[in-house]
Structure formats: C-alpha cells, structure tokens
Amino acid sequence: MKTLLKIAWRNIWRNRTRSLVVVISLAIGIWATVFILAVSDSLHIESLKDGIEYKYGHIQIHNPEFIKNEKIELTIPNGDKLLKEIRNDNQVKTATGRNKVSGIIASAGYSSNVKIIGVIPDWEEETTLLKSRLSLGNYFSDSIRNPLIIGEKLAKKLKVKLGNKVILSFEGKKGTLLTSTFRITGMYTATQVRDEEMLIYADHKDLTKLAEVEGQYNEIVIKLKDLEQLENYIEPLKTRFNQPNVLIQDWREANPDLEMISDMIYQMDIIVIIIVLIALAFGIVNTMLMSILERYKELGILMAIGMNKTRVFIMIVMETTLLSLMGGAIGMIIGFITITGFSYKGINLSLFSEGLSGWGFNEVVYPTLELRVYFLITISVIITAVITSVYPAVKALMLKPNQAIRKQN
Amino acid sequence: MNVIETKDVSKIYNADTIPVYALDKVNLTFSKGEFTAIVGPSGSGKTTLLNIIGGLDDASGGSVMIDDKDILKLKGNQLIDFRLKHIGFVFQAYNLIPVLSAKENIELIMLLQKWPEKERKNRTQEMLQVVGIANKTDSRPSQLSGGQQQRVAVARALASKPRFVLADEPTANLDSKSAENLLDVMLKLNEEEHITFIFSTHDPRVIKRARRVITLEDGKVVSDVQQNTNIKNQ
C-alpha cells in the first residue's frame, strides 16, 4: 500500500502545471462553497434568532379559531389564569399575553394597513425585548393616555413624529368598527422592513378596554430557560391544558413561514454543494482520463510485470483522492480563514437590503459555519473523488498489457 | 527438466476474412537454465511467441504448459499473479517506471511479492552491484543512459528470482559495448542462479552467445539448434 501511495503521489506531480491547475480550481470551488454556505447559514440563523427573540418566543398558545380568522374576540379561554400558571413553571423563563388585530392607522394626511399588537409592557419586555429595540422616544408610560409604539419606516410613511397623534381603526366584537386616538411615544427599528411598516404596539389594557375583551388574550408567548428542553416541556403542557379551544404550538408549528425558509435555505445549500461537486467530478474525471491516456504504456508495463488489477485500481483511486484532498484541504483552509475574518468584521449586503429584508435577513451578515459542515463537505469531496475515480480506473483496467506496451508515447 | 512446453500454439489474425498466421502450431520445450535465442526476420512471430509464453497475449489455439498448468487458460488477476511469481520481463524499450528511481524500480516486483524488507534491500543492493550501476541507485530512468536503463530492467526482471526471463530484443537499442556488457551480466546470472533466459533477437552478438537458437519464419519453427559456445572468449 505504501508503494502504491508513493507511485500515486509521484504520478500526480509528473505534470506539475496540470495538477496545480486542478488543485487550484478545486480549492476555489470548495472555498466558494464553504463561504456561500457560511453566509446563507448565518443569514438563516440570524433570521431564526430574530424571529424567536423578537416575535414568536419558543411556544405560542392561541384559540385555534383565531388562527383561522384573526378577530380580537377569539381569545384563549381562561387565558389570564393559564398565563399566570405558566409564568410560575420552573422551566419557563418568562411568558406574556397579547392581543392582535388588523386595522388601519391614519395620520393627518396618510393612512396604512397595520397589525395592532396589544402587549403587557413589562412582560413583553422580558419576552421579546421590545424596549431594547426602541430607537426613538420612550416605552409605554402610564402617564400618557393610549401610548403607541410604531416602526420608524411606518412613521416616515405617515409623516408623523414622536408625540403626534394617530387614529387607529379596527374591527371589534361582532363586526363593530372601533376607532380611537393614540399618541406615538416610541419608535423602533427591525431587521425586516415589512415588520417595521406593519407591526405597531399598544398597551394591552387600552386595546382590550376599547374592544371590550379585558383580561383576555389572543396569544400567549412563552420563552423557556433552555430551548433544548422544548420537547420535554411542550408535551406535558399540551396534556395539562388539553381543551378544545386551546392550541399549543412550538415556534416551528406556529410559524410555518420560518420553517419554509429553513427548508428552502437547506435545499439551496444542498443544491450549491451538488453543483460544486458535479463540476468537481467532471474536472477530476477529465484530468484523470488525460493522465491515464498518457500513461497507457506504463500501466501496461505495471500489469505485465505483475501489478494486479486491484492494485492498479487502488493506485488510480489514490491519485484521484490525493488530488481532490489537496484541493479540498486548501479550499477548506482558505474558507475557514475567510469566514473567521468576516465573522468579526461582517459583510455588508446593503446592496441587496430590500431583497434580504423581504426574507427577514439582516443587511450585515457575520458568517459562521459549524465544524460539522466542514466535516460534511470534506466527506462529500472524498466520496465524490472516489466515485469519480472509478471510471478512469475501470478504463485503465480494460487495457491489454501487450497492446499497451507496444504503444509509442 | 522442462520449464515450458508449447503445444500447437497458433496465433491467427483476421481469422474470419484472410487469415494471417503469426504463429502456426509451434511446438517447443524449454528446460531449466537454458539461454535461448529466438531469431527470424521481422514479422516471423518472435515477439508474439514470447508474449504468449509470458501470458501477455492470447493464442488462437494450442497450449502453453508451465508446471503442468496451461497458462492460456488463466484469466485476469490469476494470470497477472502468475507472471508476478514466475516470469521476469525485459523489454526492448526498457520500460522502467519513470517516477521510480533505479533502486525502486528493481525493488518493485519484490514489493509486490511482499518480500521481507531486509531481504528485499539486500537483494536490491546485490542486483545493483551485479548489473554494475551501484552508483546510480537514486537516479530516475530519465537520468540514465539506454545501457544503464536496460541494466536496471534486467535487474528488475531478475531480482525476485523468477523461474524464467523473457527478453524481447533486449540489445536492440544499445551500442556494442553496452550490449556486450548486458550479455555478460545476463549470462552470469544464468550461470549463477540457473534462471532460464529466452530472447527474441536480430542481434548477431546475442545469437553468437546463445546456447540454443530457434529460428522462426512465417510463424513456424524452421530450425532449433544447440550451440557449443565459449561464451566469455568470443
């Protein structure tokens, strides 16, 4: 085996330029793959984190009818009692209740469709860090009647400033149209433009009083101390509150769009890897076929003097694998260095900000890649190399030693 | 004691159209320790006969018995392993492995035969001495002259102590001095190690020093004579 390895290694360097071109192309291909995966995975992880931290929490509870038809009167039965019980659970870090209703916000000259979210100020702050995301003004205050927090982009659209009054209109119980004046006390920014334009936050008490659903919630959001414990906590919770009008879901179930994006990113990653591996495979096959054609006579001699087909096969597989591993390793090392560098500095993708924010992605991405992905790519490269070496190796085995020896180089 | 026996060995090209007989029912026997030259004009079937005896080519008919085994019936790896164990080849164009040094080329067959390292190293050194290129051990074939390359090829063929060596025009590309030196080396090994040598050749220098000369014409054996030669002094 050592001899075969030695011959294989020396064979690679017989045509230095060709081998170097192959190694460099492989390295660039692998580097690009690793880097693209790191960027896309980081965008995805950031988007998930953003969704969980700022909006969805780990677990959500709704009245199932509310999911089908988002009306403010479709509240969770005994929601208040349920929320208090959950907040006392050991595994729960925090939980809050919300009311949600679609409506229209209007300033003196402009209006826009919005989703009004009634929040319990202190508990919401614990759960989704709303207060920390304020860019202008203050959080809810008891001293101001009907305080409202809106996104900066919406404020720009409505041409309103802090302290301005706006009118909120929405559908109340039994289809009644409710209208009230609110004062903008704070503004926030969000990674998603859509959120900044659509989501506005009012005090739960003001909203439920107006809609006559006081002490009731459309949504309960739970954050656990340890996300790893999600499965262990949610199942007993479902049993505990097994009622017809109580639907308990984890963040994936409650937000299929997040799951969809996850799946899509995963599929795109696979597609990128497959494309690179196919290109890599063709490159390797081409090089190895050329190399074997050039060494036709020599392979014939090896077989004539007693190197059996298995050894010839192994030697060619070794050559291919060594060539691929060199390219793969260099690509992986450069990829690791680049990713580590950018993971501190970040990559500014503001050029694509509109498209990115539509998918809930940040403008600045800090690429990181899990070690297992490096491992996965390495394994994929090796498997591809071995598979692609089969064809040239089989071609080599088909030669007849006496004909090969007679061949003039 | 016969080492090799060919029985009615034929090689026919274009059997379905206009048959060309490269070999036509060749019957020969070779004994242990022979130093035999197969001669004849180009196209007479010398190389074909050597290739068939060495299991490098198929025959259209007949058998090649080595140790009561018909090697024409061996296939694939069986045949390659047989060559590895019993036959040494010396080719006209040397055919060394270019990525290996002289020493590594000589060692190769022993490595494939899994000789213990110490024995292998000793035998390699011995062969390097015998063929007179001990000062070129680490040179690659491209750094050696034709004569030196052919010496390495002979050393490679003989290092693993095969039953017989088949050499296809081994001196064709060598100058007179190199050819004589190589013949000296081969005769010495033939005498000392009793290895059977079968050559195909046009070279009168080789023919002159062979103990048996078989002449082929149009694929048939036309003469088979023993020569009484005083090898060293001719």
Residue with tokens 């920014």: A189
Cβ contacts from A onto B, under 8 A: 61
**Dihedral over Cα of A304, A308, A311, A313: its sign:** positive
Contact A365, A261 (CB under 8 A): no
Q: Which residues are B164's β-sheet partners?
A: B87, B196
Q: Which of A133-137, A140-144, B142-146 has the lowest mean pLDDT?
A: A140-144
Residue of A nearest to B162 (CA): A305
Q: What is the distance between the alpha carbons of residues A150 and A370, in angstroms, rounded to a whole number? A: 37
The sign one gets for the Cα dihedral B202, B204, B209, B215 is positive
In a mutational test of the A interface, the residue from B77, B99, B160 whose CB has the highest number of chain A CBs within 10 Å is B99
Min distance B230 CA to chain A CA atoms (Å): 32
- What pLDDT, on a 0 to 100 scale, did the predictor assign at position B231? 46
Number of H-type helices and E-type strands within chain A: 16, 12
What is the model's pLDDT at position B232?
A: 45
- Is 60 exceeded by the pLDDT of residue A408? no
Residue A343 has pLDDT above 80, yes or no: yes
Cβ–Cβ below 8 Å for B83 and A304: yes
Nearest to A291 by CA among A323, A267, A260: A323
More confident site: A94 or A284: A94
Cβ contacts (< 8 Å) between B106 and chain A: which residues? none
Q: Which residues pair with A183 in a beta bridge?
A: A147, A165
What parts of chain B have a pLDDT lower than 70? 1-2, 229-234
Q: How far apart are the first and last CA of chain B?
A: 28
Task: Give strand pairing partners of A168.
Answer: A105, A180
Q: What are phi and psi of B228, to 5 degrees?
A: -100, 100
**What pLDDT, on a 0 to 100 scale, did the predictor assign at position A259?**
75
pLDDT higher than 70, residue A357: no
Chain A interface disruption, residue of B48, B50, B56, B154, most A CBs within 10 A: B56
Chain B residues touching residue A298 (CB < 8 angstroms) = 95, 97-98
Please indicate if any CB of chain A lies within 8 Å of the CB of B57. yes
pLDDT tens, A237-267? 888 888 888 899 988 888 877 778 777 877 8
Task: Check if the beta carbon of residue B66 is closer than 8 Å to that of residue B4.
Answer: yes
Distance separating alpha carbons of residues B66 and A88, to the nearest angstrom: 92
Residues in chain B, overall count = 234
- Residues in chain A, overall count: 409
Mutate to test the interface with B, among A5, A11, A305, A318 (most CBs of B within 10 A): A305
Q: What gap in Å lies between CA B17 and CA A403, rounded to an integer?
A: 22
Does the complex come out with an ipTM higher than 0.95? no
The ranges assigned to domains in chain B are: 2-226
pLDDT at B49: 92
* Nearest neighbour of A298 by CB, restricted to B76, B97, B108: B97
Triad A347, A352, A355: Cα angle to 5°:
125
Q: How many Å lie between the alpha carbon of A2 and the closest alpha carbon of chain B?
A: 10
Give the DSSP H or E segment for B44: none
Q: What was the pLDDT predicted at A100?
A: 93
Report the alpha-carbon distance of residue B143 to residue B158 in Å, rounded: 22
For chain A, percent of residues with pLDDT exceeding 90 = 26
Comparing alpha-carbon positions, the chain A residue that sits nearest to B80 is A306
pLDDT over 70 percentage in chain A: 96
**Pairing status of strand A219-224 against strand A177-188:** unpaired
pLDDT in tens, A172-202: 888 889 999 999 999 998 877 788 889 999 9
Q: B-chain residues within 8 Å CB-CB of A407? A: none
Distance CA A253, CA A226 (A): 18
Mean pLDDT of A81-89: 90
Which of A34-43, A78-87, A143-152, A329-338 is predicted least confidently? Answer: A34-43
| Chain B nearest C-alpha distance from A11 (Å) | 7
Contact state of A305 with B57 under an 8 Å Cβ cutoff: no
CB-nearest partner of A402 from B51, B112, B157: B51
Taking an 8 Å cut-off on Cβ atoms, the answer to whether B156 and A305 are in contact is yes
pLDDT at A274: 87
The DSSP output letter for B41 is S
Our CA-based measurement puts residue B98 at a distance from the nearest CA of chain A, in whole angstroms, of 8
Kindly tell me if the per-residue pLDDT of A129 is higher than 80: no
Superfamily of domain B2-226: P-loop containing nucleotide triphosphate hydrolases (3.40.50.300)
pLDDT in tens, A292-321: 888 888 888 888 888 888 888 888 888 888
CB < 8 Å to B113, chain A: 306
- Interfacial residues of A (vs B; Cβ cutoff 8 Å): 3, 6-7, 10-11, 14, 297-298, 301-311, 400-402, 405
Candidates B77, B89, B100; nearest CB to A304 = B89
